[in-house]
Amino acid sequence: MNSIDAMVAPWLARGWIMLLAFTAAILLVGLLRRPCRRWFGAERAFQLWLLPPLAVLASQCPHAATSAGSLPAVVYTITSAGGALSAHADMPTSAAWYAWGMLVWFAGVLLSAVLTMFAQWRWYARLDGAAPMDGGPLRWPVWRAANVDVGPALVGTWRPRIVVPADFEQRYDATERALILAHEEVHARRGDGWWSLVARISAALCWFHPLVWLALHAMRQDMELACDAAVMREHGGQRRTYANAMLKTQSAALALPVGCPWLPHHPLAERIAMLKLPSPNRQQRMAGTMAGTALVLAVAGSVYAASVPAASEQGSSADGQTYQLDMKIETAADEAHHRHAERTSLALCAAAGKTTTASFPDWKIDAVTEPSGRDGVRIRLVMTGDGHAPLARRELRVRLGKSSRVTATGADGKRSYVVDVIPLVGCPARAAGHVVSEHLSKVPARQAAQTIASKTGFELFNPQALNNALITFNFDAVPGDRALRLIAEVDGKKAVFDGWKVRFEPK
């Protein structure tokens, strides 16, 4: 995993959890909106649209850190002396895939935003020549449009205004005008302009999701039905007059993304049918409130519980966080006027604050990793040579996914060490699986055991107990524990397993 992967992968994981929660909430609202409308009224049905944003928030809430438990502390991969590095560190396509994916997504967001702004501007252009009029006791300004096919509508969010058609007084009688203004006042009082803005932003961010556009249309319908229900709750004796006002409205078929217009494609038949039903009584409204509260708690709790793995992986608590240190190590020695160099790739994984060790034939690395700030870590790195001679002791402060270098020289001055360290959240190297297919030819037993352990998820407690006798094995889909037992047996030891930990003891 390269540094770009390390930075992008956590965001992709969070985005995926967020998208799943959002989709599940939309589907749930789609199933419940009509039954809720029948049982508890249109106003309570409209409030169901709180569930998608609440599900998104619940999916991103931080979780208490969990213990690393039986996860292996060290994943260790040795490459050949030729200098080949681990495959996941050198895949050029992953960064390109991320870049192209982000580019396509951003282009879709930008196009959706531009189309939305154009539709809003086109609607506002129809207001040229509009003039303010007396709105009576209304808190919000009322404007009379210059055209007969503009309005009624509530336009805008921060400072909304009510727009009525040019022939408002001629088309509607006094009672109808009062009901129409009451309808728009309910929109303004409830902040429905903000609802439409949030819905449009969500649709722009999730432009690739077909359910989002269906949900946007359904939400606008439920918004109108809820507004009708609120007006009828206050003016219940004027249902026929209100229905006549709906039928007289002939607005232009222009979209108003941020606002609440009376458009021809609104479900007039459904709205008029709803007017024939009695308004829910107080007991029904209270039951709807209680059912809605229980549903919100259930959805938020379920989403929060379902997102524990992703959240705990990204958590910053030192008690349960796991880090992976991707290391590229180059050792060089001057021998008889010839310089011999070896390159090694490591993946050290351990819980924060715990010491993890990588051992080599004549030296070792001890590392302790702890969180530092929002997206950084502090790494205490100690390199020790043969005979416990100190080679280097460094404290690094590195951002996740960024590289830092440590250099050291042996006591004799002939051997040099260069270590490049990239810290990552979690331990991606553990995804190798628990069955191994490997060809080992004349490999030291200790190195062979470490290679098998790195690919099967086991932690070697004391790899130094194995000798450096050369062994040759052909493993074809062999379980990791069986492979480690065979290596230990050839070396004259026995492998003792305690969960994912392995200790080598004399026979």
Give 491's pLDDT tier (boundaries 50, 70, 90).
confident
How large is the average pLDDT for residues 72-93? Answer: 36
Give 435's pLDDT tier (boundaries 50, 70, 90).
low
CA–CA gap between residue 192 and residue 381 (Å, rounded): 57
Q: Which amino acid is at 166?
A: A
Give the per-residue pLDDT at 335.
Answer: 67
485 vs 430, more confident: 485
Least confident residue range of 31-35, 106-110, 276-280, 415-419? 276-280
How large is the average pLDDT for residues 368-385? Answer: 86
- Other beta carbons within 10 angstroms of residue 201's beta carbon come to 15
- Other beta carbons within 10 angstroms of residue 344's beta carbon come to 21
Q: What percent of the chain has pLDDT over 70?
A: 80
Has residue 500 got a pLDDT over 50? yes
Give the per-residue pLDDT at 320.
Answer: 59
Least confident residue range of 265-269, 282-286, 410-414? 265-269
Give the per-residue pLDDT at 182.
Answer: 92
- Average pLDDT of every residue of the chain: 79
CA–CA gap between residue 160 and residue 86 (Å, rounded): 59
Give the per-residue pLDDT at 506.
Answer: 87
Which tokens in the block code for residue 49?
Answer: 């649209």
Q: What is the DSSP letter of 85?
A: P
Give the per-residue pLDDT at 111.
Answer: 96
Least confident residue range of 85-94, 162-171, 355-364? 85-94
Has residue 298 got a pLDDT over 70? yes
Q: In this predicted model, what pLDDT tens digit does every residue of 68-78 receive, in sequence order? A: 333 333 333 33
Which strands sit side by side in the sheet containing 376-385, from one edge to the other? 355-359, 363-372, 376-385, 390-399
Give 268's pLDDT tier (boundaries 50, 70, 90).
low
Burial class (CB in 10 A: 0-12, 13-18, 19+), 501: middle
Has residue 309 got a pLDDT over 70? no
177 vs 305, more confident: 177
138 vs 87, more confident: 138
Has residue 383 got a pLDDT over 70? yes
Least confident residue range of 276-280, 285-289, 427-431, 452-456? 427-431
Has residue 199 got a pLDDT over 90? yes
How large is the average pLDDT for residues 172-195? Answer: 92
Q: In this predicted model, what pLDDT tens digit does every residue of 208-240 receive, in sequence order? A: 999 999 999 999 999 989 998 899 888 877 888
CA–CA gap between residue 212 and residue 107 (Å, rounded): 18
Give the per-residue pLDDT at 233.
Answer: 87
Give the per-residue pLDDT at 263.
Answer: 61
Has residue 95 got a pLDDT over 70? no
Verdict on whether the full-model pTM lies above 0.95: no
Q: In this predicted model, what pLDDT tens digit does every residue of 354-374 receive, in sequence order? A: 888 777 767 788 889 988 877
Give the per-residue pLDDT at 328.
Answer: 83
How large is the average pLDDT for residues 57-72? Answer: 58
* ∠ Cα 237 240 241 (to 5°): 90
The helices-and-strands tally (H runs, E runs) of the chain is 14, 19
Q: What percent of the chain has pLDDT over 90?
A: 22
* ∠ Cα 297 298 304 (to 5°): 85
